[in-house]
Homo-oligomer: A and B are copies of this chain.
Amino acid sequence: MVNVAILGFGTVGSGVAEVLTKNSGVIGQRVNELIRLKYILDVRDFPDSPYQGCFVKDFSVIENDPEVDVVVETIGGARIALEFTRRALTAGKSVVSSNKELVATHGYELLQLAQEHGVSYLFEASVGGGIPILRPLTACLAANELDQVTGILNGTTNYILTRMIKAGLTFDQALEEAQANGYAEKDPTADVDGHDACRKICILAALSFGQHVYPDQVPTEGIRGVTLADVAYADSCGYKIKLLGRCIREPEGKVCAFVAPHLVEGSNPLAGVEDVFNAIAVTGNAVGDVMFYGRGAGKLPTASAVVADVIDIAKDKARCRYNPWGPGSKDLVVSPDQLTSRWYVRARASMDEARLACGELQPLARSGAPVGEVAFLTAPMTQPQLMERLKGMEVCSLFRVL
């Protein structure tokens, strides 16, 4: 018997309870041990819930119950969740989490704590929702030196961009629609400004390169600056605008990581990832390019990943599983400034001025462009080189080309 306690009965927590219950038959075929939901911690009352006997309001009941093997943390945030995770690991309980903020900011400490107490700390659901990505990255691609990871890591922004591209909605209209459909929060900052994608690329970077990359080390730009004009120019040359989280292996063990809108070529599989779907492309020196695709959020997809971690632990309670990484450091992360790429530029200028400034370029056109607007793709260069060339020009939009 493996006893599970769920912390937080919100969307993900209730999804975990549902999957454990609804799929108990098929789960039972895959694990010899019975998995039993013993506690659900929540400050609220749920008088109509089918899990009546499970609810507790005091974490110490779970902490002090030696029968509890696995604590599922779906509270979110990095305050109470941090405290309860520390206490659960210290009490010798494995912890499974969907909390990207907590893992991205305190992952190193919590993995160390799990190791000290001989338990597991797993968080497959923290990146890509239900998409299997962290275990494939660390187990299935273990024979590879990983070169880079590039992901569409946030469903809300991908939905907004898709609606701008396919339905011609403005950013504000698309955001409003996303909120009406439950794909965006009332306060959409964490998604729209790229913070959510930033946390996820931190976790992917840590697992890929073995050192903690902290969110405040990752330059992060969201999608508020993407306009329908940019969407139209991108479309004119067969590109789609996507918000990408990227991490790249650099010489001497360093890492480059950032989040920003990119122009992605239509033939790249990432360009076809639409609506709330996520996808993560990984390049390894043996496997080449592989990509993982699916729903990056949602009650049951996220619960699918959480319960997979619980099953992994239940298969062999005595074995502790975690993929520890190093503490990271201030000078681990190098700026994307040194990264050469082509650029998309939209500016108030003439094409002659643009050519004079940038040399060889690919001019773009769109119908309805106002007089004095110019857009083009540059030759490959770094951002400082580009900024030097664009000096004095009134730049409206500036995105990397993947």
| Residue ranges of A at the interface with B (Cβ–Cβ < 8 Å) | 15, 19-20, 22-23, 25-27, 29-31, 124, 130-132, 135-136, 138-145, 210, 267, 269, 272-274, 284-295, 298, 300-301, 303-308, 310-312, 316, 319
Contacts and interface: CB of A to CB of B under 8 A. Distances in A.
A136 to B, nearest CB: 4
A142 B289 contact: no
Contact of A23 (B20, B136, B285, B305): B285
Given A132-B136, A136-B135, A210-B29, A142 B290 contact: no
A19 B143 contact: yes
A384 B3 CA distance: 51
Contacts of A19: 143, 286
Contacts of A287: 130-131, 294-295, 300-301, 304-305
Nearest to A134: B140
A311 B142 contact: yes
Nearest to A135: B140
Nearest to A128: B290
Contact of A132 (B140, B274, B310): B140
A267 B307 CA distance: 30
A138 B305 CA distance: 12
Contacts of A273: 269
Contact of A301 (B145, B286, B308): B286
A303 B143 contact: yes
Contacts of A136: 132, 135-136, 140
Contacts of A141: 132, 304, 308
A396 to B, nearest CB: 31
A149 to B, nearest CB: 14
A135 B139 contact: yes
Given A23-B143, A23-B145, A139-B308, A289 B295 contact: yes
Contact of A288 (B269, B295, B319): B295
Contacts of A304: 141, 143-144, 284, 286-287
Q: Which of A29, A144, A284, A303 has the most CB of B within 10 A?
A: A144
Contacts of A267: 274
A274 B289 CA distance: 13
B286 A142 contact: no
A333 to B, nearest CB: 20
Q: Which of A140, A293, A311 has the most CB of B within 10 A?
A: A140
Given A140-B124, A142-B311, A269-B272, A290 B292 contact: yes
Contacts of A306: 143
Nearest to A16: B143
A27 B269 CA distance: 29
Given A290-B131, A312-B139, A23 B301 contact: no
Given A210-B29, A286-B19, A143 B311 contact: yes
A26 B287 CA distance: 14
A348 B131 CA distance: 46
Q: Which of A143, A273, A292 has the most CB of B within 10 A?
A: A143
A294 B305 contact: no
Contacts of A210: 29
A131 B293 CA distance: 12
Contacts of A23: 143-145, 285-286
